[in-house]
């Protein structure tokens, strides 16, 4: 693919041009360690000795039943599973084990591979280390609300330190799927609805997981997933089909992957869904032509869990054998859990249905991956039980979890400066199903590896900071979706006895995450009724929302004087929320997903394209405009929005030029002043809009953000750069292009406000 200008002339080298257009602000090109780019003599020598069965073994990943994460559920079955698996390892029929824990058992299993198998090829130990391990950090969506890639890098690093200490080499994270429909449960696992924020966070997490040296004991291979467009499942229904234009695929869903590869990710996971009728896991155009051809990715593609075998249910493969054939021919190197490669690759190669060269290329990549992390020289790296004890759930880990939690909270509403609350002198009633709940603080992946003894619930966190812990009354009122006998009455009595009510309501952990799509993104009905009963007492209510997606707030919950988006914050949830409630931490998070007015607006995202009939600003006279019968198609709380206890004024937006030459850089500057009473952090955002283009363009696009930390009265200049690459889009012919013309630019506090200016991008050779 070549990159073309508006008049069809190619601009620069094709691949670099493509990359710079796609994810320019992350500064991208696929990064491959030299050793990985070309297989070493050691890898070639091994390959030359391998039987087809041993090759298929290296391409097979299975759940680790030798050291299952959930412990000895059924000791006899476990022992049998462990024995079978160890025998398979010795026979060279497994290359990767996943989701096991424990350094000692990993050591023993590695020994079986290195001393017990013919070719002594070490195993890779992989796992879903998504947002922490023993110590759990905020769900990725919450952490995206921090708009703080440095924080994301630090929590990923910490997760890698803990996880590698239990004998892991590889995580199936970060999830980089852009999610524009809040009904989809896996919104929780990614960075939300925006491509720019998604790309920045993806790169930060890869850097964090992998660290600086892939061979270090605490480096963990990262896997951007799910390739591709899983976030675009129709109607937000999990595993559903995806219907997507090539332009939206390339502009919105692919750049976070490119950012992850540019940051050094060496593996990628193919998605469950189809893309325009071709399942991603059998999609040669995506997995080979685009990934390897256009982008030059040299790493390993692993299927999602049984996604290759599911080609049969998709109606794309005739049977399991056909599924294995289609997956390997499309470019899937490792088959996860289905076993179809180990079962069928030998006969597929023997019959000529799959060329040996295709299998060899995949094996070369897997062996090179093992070599890149130093496994051949040191198969026992990261398998030290002493390190396991020393690095698990340390005070530093817990402190980071608390800090990350505080930075992920978004203050949505704070009428009459109700927050922060005083630590003394007020009686507080903490009401709602999450008041003292310890089971729903971690998020959907929390159950897997977390040390749940660390979980801090809200009541515990609040009491720890109150001058008189007895002035907190706790009443659940109801469960997440059901009533408790007498619960409402007790909750109302508690509210009446208090000065201020903290209402902890929202979604349970298992209403979010994989396979947890919702048709309706409101608060469950019983909790809404509880909120109404509490509001009827007339007490001031602070809503503490628990959620893994945007929520459509309504009634008394929407109208409460103070609302905090507190997501699932991880092990230290109760402390992190208390820090913000009592003002030890000044909230500075911003929404990474738009909160719609109504569930029925989904899919809803701030950067939709222009229509021919936009709704006018004036709420009257909106007949025959792009709006709903009952409401405008606006957000209740837009992407990028969030308040603080300080107050910031942005002024003096200046452009270095009103006429940007084709190869020049535009500098946009503005002044930010803290006009509040307390120290705070402001997230300054830069959005653009292409006024006239050969394809309709988003009403706004985020192209930069900066966190500014200011004492009361202090002022700072912020500076952004815009180049032609930031103004590019995918044209009608599927090429990236930039078109000369006028662009609007805003320095903003959210996706719907800001101080505007405009400039013109001049054609090549002009100006």
Which residues of this protein are in contact with ligand BGC, per CB under 6 A?
Answer: 128, 172, 225, 304-305, 514
Query: Are 273 and 282 a contacting pair, CB within 8 Å?
Result: no
Nearer to ligand BGC by C-beta: 108 or 514?
514
DSSP code of 439?
S
Closest distance to ligand BGC from the beta carbon of 73 (Å): 17
Angle between helices 573-581 and 395-408 (to 10 degrees): 50
| H/E stretch holding 67 | none
Closest distance to ligand BGC from the beta carbon of 514 (Å): 6
Nearer to ligand BGC by C-beta: 272 or 295?
272
Nearer to ligand BGC by C-beta: 36 or 445?
445
Q: Which two tokens stand for residue 450?
A: 């977390």
| H/E stretch holding 411 | strand 410-414
CB contact set of 571 (below 8 Å; sequence gap of 6+): 132, 135, 136, 137, 398, 401, 441, 442, 450, 451, 454, 455, 456
Closest to 252 in 3D by CA, of 270, 234, 231, 274: 231
Closest distance to ligand BGC from the beta carbon of 369 (Å): 17
Closest distance to ligand BGC from the beta carbon of 723 (Å): 35
- For the CA atoms of 36, 41, 46, 51, what is the dihedral angle to 10 degrees? 90
Nearer to ligand BGC by C-beta: 274 or 457?
274
CA 730 – CA 720 distance, rounded (Å): 23
Closest distance to ligand BGC from the beta carbon of 177 (Å): 10
* Residue matched to tokens 């006899």: 76
Nearer to ligand BGC by C-beta: 128 or 360?
128
Closest distance to ligand BGC from the beta carbon of 172 (Å): 4
Nearer to ligand BGC by C-beta: 141 or 666?
141
* Residue matched to tokens 């505007």: 756
Q: Distances in Å between the alpha carbon of 273 and those of 42, 53, 307, 605, 642?
A: 37, 29, 9, 21, 34
* Residue matched to tokens 């229509």: 611
Q: Distances in Å between the alpha carbon of 751 and those of 23, 132, 244, 324, 513?
A: 19, 30, 24, 45, 26
Nearer to ligand BGC by C-beta: 99 or 164?
99
User: What angle (nearest 5°) sits at the alpha carbon of residue 605, between those of residues 599 and 607?
Assistant: 160
CA 20 – CA 435 distance, rounded (Å): 48
Nearer to ligand BGC by C-beta: 268 or 562?
268
Q: How many CB atoms lie within 10 A of CB 616?
A: 12
User: What angle (nearest 5°) sits at the alpha carbon of residue 118, between those of residues 112 and 124?
Assistant: 50
Closest distance to ligand BGC from the beta carbon of 80 (Å): 22
CB contact set of 692 (below 8 Å; sequence gap of 6+): 741, 742
Nearer to ligand BGC by C-beta: 479 or 514?
514
Nearer to ligand BGC by C-beta: 238 or 294?
238
User: What angle (nearest 5°) sits at the alpha carbon of residue 383, between those of residues 379 and 388?
Assistant: 165
3-class secondary-structure state, position 98:
strand
CA 168 – CA 594 distance, rounded (Å): 36
Closest to 125 in 3D by CA, of 335, 309, 379: 379
Burial class (CB in 10 A: 0-12, 13-18, 19+), 741: middle
User: What angle (nearest 5°) sits at the alpha carbon of residue 526, between those of residues 522 and 532?
Assistant: 85
- What 3 state SS string does 218-247 have? CCCECCCEEECCHHHCHHHCCCCCCCCCHH
Q: Which two tokens stand for residue 435?
A: 């008041």
3-class secondary-structure state, position 211:
coil
Nearer to ligand BGC by C-beta: 304 or 403?
304
Closest distance to ligand BGC from the beta carbon of 454 (Å): 23
Closest distance to ligand BGC from the beta carbon of 392 (Å): 21
Nearer to ligand BGC by C-beta: 314 or 700?
314
First-residue to last-residue Cα distance in the chain: 29
Q: Which residues are catalytic?
A: 304
Q: Which two tokens stand for residue 628?
A: 């709903």
Q: What is the DSSP string of 164-222?
A: HHTT--EE---B------TTSGGGGGS--S-HHHHHHHHHHHHHHHH-S-TTSTT--B-
- What 3 state SS string does 600-612 have? HHCCCCCCCECCC
Closest distance to ligand BGC from the beta carbon of 135 (Å): 20
Closest distance to ligand BGC from the beta carbon of 306 (Å): 8
Nearer to ligand BGC by C-beta: 239 or 662?
239
Closest distance to ligand BGC from the beta carbon of 553 (Å): 29
CA 208 – CA 263 distance, rounded (Å): 10
Q: Which two tokens stand for residue 158?
A: 């910490």
| Dihedrals phi, psi of 495, to nearest 5 degrees | -65, -40
Closest distance to ligand BGC from the beta carbon of 334 (Å): 12
| Dihedrals phi, psi of 399, to nearest 5 degrees | -65, -40
């Amino acid at each position: 693919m070549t990159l073309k200008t508006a008049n069809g002339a190619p601009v620069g080298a094709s691949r670099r041009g493509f990359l710079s257009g796609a994810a320019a602000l992350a500064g991208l090109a696929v990064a491959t360690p030299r050793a990985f780019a070309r297989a070493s003599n050691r890898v070639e020598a091994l390959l030359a000795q391998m039987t087809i069965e041993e090759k298929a073994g290296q391409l097979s990943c299975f759940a680790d039943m030798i050291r299952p994460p959930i412990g000895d559920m059924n000791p006899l079955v476990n022992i049998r599973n462990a024995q079978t698996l160890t025998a398979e390892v010795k026979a060279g029929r497994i290359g990767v084990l996943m989701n096991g824990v424990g350094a000692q058992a990993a050591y023993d299993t590695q020994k079986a591979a290195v001393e017990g198998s013919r070719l002594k090829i070490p195993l890779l130990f992989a796992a879903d280390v998504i947002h922490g391990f023993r110590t759990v950090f905020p769900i990725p969506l919450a952490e995206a609300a921090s708009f703080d890639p440095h924080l994301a890098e630090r929590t990923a690093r910490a997760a890698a330190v803990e996880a590698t200490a239990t004998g892991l080499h590889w995580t199936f994270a970060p999830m980089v799927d852009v999610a524009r429909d809040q009904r989809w449960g896996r919104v929780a696992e990614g960075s939300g609805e925006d491509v720019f924020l998604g790309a920045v966070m993806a790169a930060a997490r890869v850097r964090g997981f992998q660290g600086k040296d892939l061979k270090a004991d605490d480096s963990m291979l990262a896997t951007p997933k799910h390739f591709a467009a899983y976030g675009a499942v129709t109607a937000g229904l999990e595993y559903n089909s995806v219907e997507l234009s090539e332009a939206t695929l390339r502009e919105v869903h692919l750049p976070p992957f490119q950012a992850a590869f540019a940051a050094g990710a060496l593996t990628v996971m193919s998605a469950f869904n189809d893309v325009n009728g071709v399942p991603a896991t059998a999609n040669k155009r995506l997995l080979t032509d685009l990934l390897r051809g256009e982008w030059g990715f040299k790493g390993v593609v692993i299927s999602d869990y049984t996604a290759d075998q599911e080609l049969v249910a998709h109606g794309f493969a005739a049977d399991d054998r056909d599924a294995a054939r289609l997956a390997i021919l499309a470019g899937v190197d490792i088959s996860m859990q289905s076993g179809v490669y180990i079962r069928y690759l030998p006969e597929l190669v023997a019959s000529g249905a799959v060329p040996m060269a295709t299998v060899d290329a995949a094996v070369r990549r897997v062996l090179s991956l093992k070599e890149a992390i130093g496994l051949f020289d040191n198969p026992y790296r990261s398998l030290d039980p002493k390190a396991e004890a020393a690095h698990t759930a340390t005070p530093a880990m817990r402190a980071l979890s608390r800090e990350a939690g505080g930075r992920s909270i978004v203050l949505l509403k704070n009428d009459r400066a109700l927050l922060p609350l005083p630590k003394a002198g007020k009686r507080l009633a903490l009401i709602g199903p999450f008041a003292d709940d310890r089971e729903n603080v971690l998020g959907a992946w929390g159950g897997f590896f977390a040390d749940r003894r660390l979980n801090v619930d809200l009541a515990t966190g609040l009491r720890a900071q109150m001058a008189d812990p007895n002035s907190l009354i706790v009443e659940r009122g109801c469960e997440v979706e059901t009533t408790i006998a007498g619960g409402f009455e007790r909750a109302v009595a508690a509210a009446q006895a208090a000065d201020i009510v903290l209402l902890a309501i929202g979604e349970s952990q298992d209403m979010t995450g994989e396979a947890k799509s919702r048709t309706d993104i409101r608060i469950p009905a019983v909790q809404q009724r509880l909120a109404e009963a509490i509001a009827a007492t007339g007490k001031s209510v602070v809503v503490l929302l628990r959620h893994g997606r945007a929520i459509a707030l309504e009634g008394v919950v929407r109208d409460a004087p103070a609302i905090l988006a507190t997501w699932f914050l991880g092990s230290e949830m109760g402390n992190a929320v208390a820090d913000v409630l009592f003002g030890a931490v000044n909230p500075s998070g911003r929404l990474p997903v738009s909160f719609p007015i109504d569930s029925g607006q989904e899919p809803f995202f701030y950067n939709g394209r222009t229509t021919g009939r936009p709704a006018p600003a004036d709420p009257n006279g909106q007949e025959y405009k792009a709006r709903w019968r009952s409401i405008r198609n606006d957000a209740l709380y837009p992407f990028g929005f969030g308040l603080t206890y300080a107050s910031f004024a942005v002024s003096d937006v200046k452009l270095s030029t009103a006429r940007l030459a084709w190869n020049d850089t535009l500098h946009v500057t503005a002044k930010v002043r803290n006009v509040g009473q307390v120290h705070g952090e402001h997230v300054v955002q830069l959005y653009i809009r292409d006024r006239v283009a050969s394809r309709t363009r988003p009403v706004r696009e985020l192209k930069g953000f900066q966190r500014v930390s200011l004492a009361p009265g202090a002022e700072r200049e912020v500076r952004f750069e815009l180049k032609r690459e930031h103004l590019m889009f995918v044209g009608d012919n599927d090429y990236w292009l930039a078109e000369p013309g006028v662009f609007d630019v805003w320095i903003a506090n959210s996706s719907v406000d800001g101080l505007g200016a405009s400039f013109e991008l001049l054609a090549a050779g002009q100006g």
